[in-house]
Amino acid sequence: MKSKKQIRLAHVFLSLGIVIFLQCAQQTVPPTAKKIPKQLTIHGDTRTDNYFWLRERDNPEVINYLKAENKYLEQVMKPHKKLMQHIYDEMVGRIKQDDDTVPYLENGYYYYRHYEEGKEFPIYMRKKGSLEAADEVILDVNQLAKGHDYFYVNSVNVSDDNRFVSFGVDTVSRRQYTIHFKNLETGEMLTDSIPNTLGSSCWANDNKTVFYAVKDSTLRPFKIMRHVLGTNVADDAEIFIETDNTFDAFVFKSKSRKYIFIASYSTLSTEYRFIDADRPLDAFKTIQTRQKDLEYSVSHYNEKFYILTNDQANNFRLMETDVRHTQKRYWKEVIPHRADVLLEDVEIFKDELVLQERKDGLTQLRIINQTTGNDRYVDFGEQVYVANPVNNYEFDTEWLRYSYSSLTTPNSVYDYNMTTGEKKLLKEEEVLGGFDRNNYQAERLFATVNDSVKIPISLVYRKGLVKDGTNPLLLYGYGSYGYSIDPDFSSSRLSLHDRGFVYAIAHIRGGQVMGRQWYEDGKLLNKKNTFTDFIDCAEYLIDQKYTNPNKLFAAGGSAGGLLIGAVVNMRPDLFKAVIAAVPWVDVVTTMLDESIPLTTGEYDEWGNPNKKEYYDYMLSYSPYDNVKAQAYPAMLVTTGLHDSQVQYWEPAKWVAKLRAMKTDNHLLLLHTQMEAGHSGKAGRFERYKETALEYTFLLDQAGIKK
């Protein structure tokens, strides 16, 4: 017979056990979103959305649910908190904190950004006439950001007389910028304040008139306004209104400072207007009236407009025309179309044209002497890289400035003499912590997919890797909007490489890495090629013994999150775990709602589901609509409450539906940044906290504890 003491102890231990059980249960049981069925009917088809109510941003229950998901993530990741902090410290520790960008010359001043140790934001600086001149502070963003949970500055733009600076400020992370002005001679902030803009502004040559773009309720920049410093913003003049809701509008100044342009653009069509920058009150004249599927962009030099266009040129060609005769019938060919080369951009100098080209998936810089026609290509010395012209504001110079990076070479800035071929390395990003590029190896492979197309794969890993199928590998993809994911350097990724991870980029269709047709073959009714390309690349890497399905991870963000969502529905067995960052996953419902940002302007990218053909096709791959009762890999999903590009409720709804339907017990986490939007935190170091979370999630799933 038990004594009273034994019985009391038994009760104590039982109570303690119950408490421990309840604590464990609280830590391990994820929140459940309630179901409120919403019927959505079109084309005779009805979908039931049980989580439509999560769109109610002002509903306290919605906020509480998001916070509960954050709390669950915090509890699940608590055992890994020390590793997460260590990874964050590693990444930040590689950054030279007291640093300057390379100064560039513009209109008599050398401009650069200065970063101070421990501070999150840049200080915009300049020197007059010489690099030996005294430093002048244009903007100290650290001072401006005080008292704000989120703060981001864009489009710092100095007037032609160098007296005033305009800049855009976003304090919500909704990409709705308020334009402010500062007198650089006195240091005072002007009272002029223009809300709800793109943030950028364009100075007329009188140094008091500025043009800017205003956003509508869907955050579409649709109206160009004119403001005069010192006047009431409410009295600003409407200059242009873009009435077609599939088009956006913006305004900018030519490199020559001679003309101001208004650009209207949709996915597949553009239209430009211009005035003389000396005459800001003039009416804008159209260069070439918009036509379906006609894209063009405009640069100016001397008495010519240079026109980069897809007119009878799928991979684009370069034309020129007299500024007095701008319609397409007057355009004359300068650089013809080439089937194997995508002409991406042109930089104009007094004596040379610099073409930014893409061939066989890689960027090229081609320099053409405008007098002799002789050309040369810049030699970069690596097989996997990316190079782009940057900060070339002066016409009369022999020097081309470009940025360069590769999977093993930190971001670098070069000056290249277009006459002699001399190359000067001005700065290579300093990576602290003992980084040595010779410890890493980059490769370029081609995976043959189901329709015999060869998909490029760029990958990098620490040397000494044994290709025996046992390596953890992170496969990244995007594949939309013709945007090419280039193989550039990331110091933060070293935290994965040094723990054995291979990093690979699948250059899938929907991007433009292999030319314009690569894009055409991955959008609209060809969109599924994007997803099957990614799957085929994953299988190829397994076949080549880089990894195996239990060590294979995938990641993508925004439209790349759509990719991840579609792929895990199609082949959930192929991946150990995935990361979907700010993922666009509720494709059909979003594209049927014209009140949501980006919807109407993207019909040419995804299709208009008001038409049954596109509705049926989009419904067949939409990640949210195709969640099913099956086992999924472990998943980390991230979003921002103020996301302007992909509304927070898409990933929130997706996670809620996955929780209700998936048949596995693999980890499913949702992280909502309550004070951020599509691009996450704005600070120089704060952004790495999200990366540290992602990497810790991957390492945990890979069984790597240190």
Q: Rounded to whole angstroms, how far apart are CA atoms 699 and 696?
A: 5
Show the CA angle centred on residue 21, arms to residues 17 and 24, nearest 5°.
140
CA distance 655 to 558: 15
Alpha helix locations (H) across 463-577?
494-497, 516-520, 528-543, 559-570
Active-site hit among 192, 533, 625, 643:
643
Residue 439: which residues within 8 A CB-CB, separation 6 or more? 462, 463
Full 3-state SS string of 115-134: ECCCCCCCEEEEEECCCCCC
Q: Which one of 227, 497, 671, 678 is the catalytic residue?
A: 678
Q: What are phi and psi of 364, to 5 degrees?
A: -135, 145
Which of 697, 643, 632 has its CA nearest to residue 673?
A: 643
Residue 599 carries which DSSP code?
Answer: S
Say whether 558 is catalytic. yes
Has 678 been annotated as catalytic? yes
Q: How far is CA 662 from the centre of its chain?
A: 30
Neighbours of 519 (CB within 10 A): 24
Select from 243, 239, 244 the least CA-distant residue to 261.
Answer: 239
Per DSSP, the three-state class of 482 is: coil
Cα 275 from Cα 260, distance rounded (Å): 5
DSSP H or E segment with residue 587: helix 587-591
Q: Is the dihedral of CA 459, 463, 468, 473 positive or negative?
A: negative
- Long-range contacts formed by 690-695: CB under 8 A, 24+ apart: 690/638, 691/88, 691/91, 691/492, 692/84, 692/85, 692/87, 692/88, 692/91, 693/77, 693/84, 693/636, 694/555, 694/579, 694/581, 694/636, 694/638, 695/87, 695/492, 695/495, 695/496
CA distance 601 to 17: 58
593: annotated active-site residue:
no
Which residues are annotated as catalytic?
558, 643, 678
